[in-house]
Amino acid sequence: MLSNEIQKGQNNMCVVAGNAPSLAEIDYNRLPLDYDVFRCNQFYFEDKYYLGKKVKFAFANPFVLFEQCYTYKTLLYKNEYEIENIVVSDFNLSCADSFYLKYLQVFDETLRGSRFISKLKDFYTFVRYNELYHNKRITSGIYMCAFAVALGYKEIYITGIDLYSAKEAYAFQAKKPDLLKILPNFNSIPDSCHTKEIDIKALEFLAKHYDIKFYSISPNSPINEHIQLANSKNNTTFIVKEKTRDSIKDMLIPSIEAYENLNHGIDSMLHYNHVEVQDKISQQEAIQAVWHEIDKYKKPLRNNAVYRLFSDIIKLPKDISKYIKGSKLRKKKKKKKRGGGGGGTHSIIGYIMFIIENAISCIKYTYNFYNNISIREQ
């Protein structure tokens, strides 16, 4: 269950898991016997339960918090994962956390990461300084490490944090359809604000200032150049379980009504979160908007004299046919009233007059058209 009360493991050990390739290469013999699990972002994209179903803390980026919370809670309610706490990876800076700060009261059951990391005064100053003045931001994996330190964990076992040095960025296929609807610019290349150097500095800072021991549990991870590979604990109890075919492996998109609830009483400009299928207007209004856009391009053509001339000429045979049918009906009615006879000459004259009127109309259109052209040329 999701909780606002945090209870740390008794033995001060935890596993912090990023989503890089080494996540799928854990040496389970190196796992401690008792530990809490920290996961982040789209960890549920994984093909197997690399660290089991129990998640003490699930971290989400502020700019997709609404969608990520929806996904995390659905994972919980469907018993796919046992997520105990959701944490927003914020820095309490408007430049990085504007969405979260705007909708703060909506996420009151979500743990605010900055409130815990701020307890590490020197580290908090260090990361905010780099974020604010140098646009350098620690990755989610390092953020989780700092959060663990703030809670009092002393031994932190790391996997899936490869410092952007592995061939692939993720241990799974990351570009999923709904994720790309929410984040169209998502790619496997790290953002310019994330660098290997800032992550290493942050880890060294935590180890030095707070007497923390970091260990790797993935023998092939590039992070092993900077932290020690954990000794074998002979943990033979862990079994990696496969996921079912219908497991959630994409970020879930809330309904339009959910987005409206999110914005109720906050802002008329709804946060529809870059989602094409969750546009700012309903589907019906979207269709109307498309037709309005089409009509905008059709309007100049409708006002064009040549277009109107040919339009009338095309309609002429149909209009004549209607006129003849109408004349015949009138003729029949007159015969019934008068007892038959008469009306033939009037019908022919009317037909001729109709043609003359349309011809005159066509000539007028043509005259106006050429007259307009001559005026423009002058």
Give residue-wise pLDDT tens across range 183-234: 888 876 666 677 889 999 999 999 999 999 999 999 999 999 999 999 988 7
Residue 55 dihedral angles phi and psi, to the nearest 5°: -130, 115
By mean pLDDT, which of 67-71, 367-371, 372-376 is the weakest?
Answer: 372-376
Give residue-wise pLDDT tens across range 22-44: 999 999 999 998 999 999 999 99
List domains and CATH numbers for the chain. 13-253 (3.90.1480.10), 304-377 (no CATH)
Q: Which two tokens stand for residue 74?
A: 């659905």
Count CA within 13 A, CB hemisphere, residue 169.
Answer: 13
Report the pLDDT value the prediction gives residue 66, as an integer from 0 to 100: 93
The residues annotated as belonging to the active site are 137, 164, 170, 194
Give residue-wise pLDDT tens across range 144-187: 999 999 999 999 999 999 998 878 889 999 999 999 999 888 87
Reduced to 3 states (helix: H, G, I; strand: E, B; else coil), residue 242 is strand
SS3 of the chain: helix, strand, coil, percent, to 5: 50, 10, 40
d(CA 302, CA 280): 31
Count CA within 13 A, CB hemisphere, residue 26.
Answer: 30
